[in-house]
Amino acid sequence: MKTVITYGTFDILHIGHINILKRAKALGDKLIVAISSDEFNAGKHKSSLLNYKNRKAVLESIRYVDMVIPETNWEQKVTDVEKYNIDIFVMGDDWEGKFDFLKKQCEVVYLPRTEGISTTQIKEEL
């Protein structure tokens, strides 16, 4: 059984999120999604329209997602790979190369983003 993990804020769910979750799940048997806690977002000077509890509930209802965990710090990725026996670490290709240090522990895959949509774009239009 292959376990896949991905990270993000997952605020204002859109087709780009669904696409990346679907493609990440297709790489393995189990998909874990780590979403930024409200405190972690604040520390990054980033805000979400939805709080952690709401974002978690939405992600848990998506059929591609098997488990949702909180992301509380940048360093957590290394320990999560070990803790959850991760085989494949997945991020959007805008992070290309940033997590290559994890290749010692697991496969690292950067997936293309869905063109024409992003949370930032939606927030700007609101």
Tell me which residues are annotated as active site: 44, 46
For residue 43, the Cα-to-chain-centroid distance in whole angstroms is: 18
- Of 1, 11, 5, residue with least CA distance to 90: 5
- Of 11, 64, 2, residue with least CA distance to 33: 64
Show the CA angle centred on residue 125, arms to residues 47 and 35, nearest 5°: 30
